[in-house]
Structure 1
Amino acid sequence: MAKTQLNVRVDEGTARAARERALARGISVNRYIEELVRQDTGETGRTFVEAAADFMKQYESVFAEEFTETRGTRTGDGR
């Protein structure tokens, strides 16, 4: 999807809150604002799925390692 630049002016408190929330979520302020707009316009399901996909991609190796290790030891028969 093509991106369009949008310039907005907000008071310093709002800007600080946006930066803090984005940082806490580990995303850019730009992405944080995009997600807020999507939520407001009813695209929360899509936003959730995108966030879940990002999470899975980020932790893919951890999940693979965990499930590979426990797969053989849970049943005791190597499955």
Structure 2
Amino acid sequence: MAKTQLNVRVDENTARAARERALERGMSVNRYIEELVRQDTGEAGHTFVEAAADFMKQYESVFAEEFGTAREGRVEPAGEGRDEGRH
């Protein structure tokens, strides 16, 4: 993605806090600010949800085997809808 320069003026306390937080996280102030904006706009949350959905799709058969059977696009908890325990 192409980068655009953005100049921002903040008070010294805010600048110091940004530098300290970025250093604590092992990243540049630029990257720290980028991540804050992404979080504020929901991009990070959206990315997490997409990754979680991909994970669930990838391992759907494993979850179905462990927790029950897949029926009509959903996983049914083990034991539900079965005649387990009946003789």
Higher-helix-fraction structure: 1
Classify the TM-score, shorter chain.
0.5 to 0.7
Superposition pairs of residues 29-68 of structure 1, within 5 angstroms: 29-45=29-45
Higher-strand-fraction structure: 2
For the residues of structure 2 that align with 1:32 and 1:4, how far apart are their CA atoms?
15
TM-score (norm 1): 0.57
Cα root mean square deviation, aligned: 1.6
Larger Rg: 2
TM-score (norm 2): 0.51
C-alpha displacement at 1:47, in angstroms? 6.8
Q: Residue in 1 aligned with 2:17? A: 17
In structure 2, list runs of 5 or more residues that go unmatched.
49-87
In structure 1, list runs of 5 or more residues that go unmatched.
49-79
Which amino acid is 1:6 matched to?
Answer: L
Q: Is the 8 A contact 1:22 1:29 kept in 2?
A: yes
Q: Is the 8 A contact 1:39 1:47 kept in 2?
A: no
Call closer, same or farther: CA 1:9–1:31 in 2, change over 3 Å: same
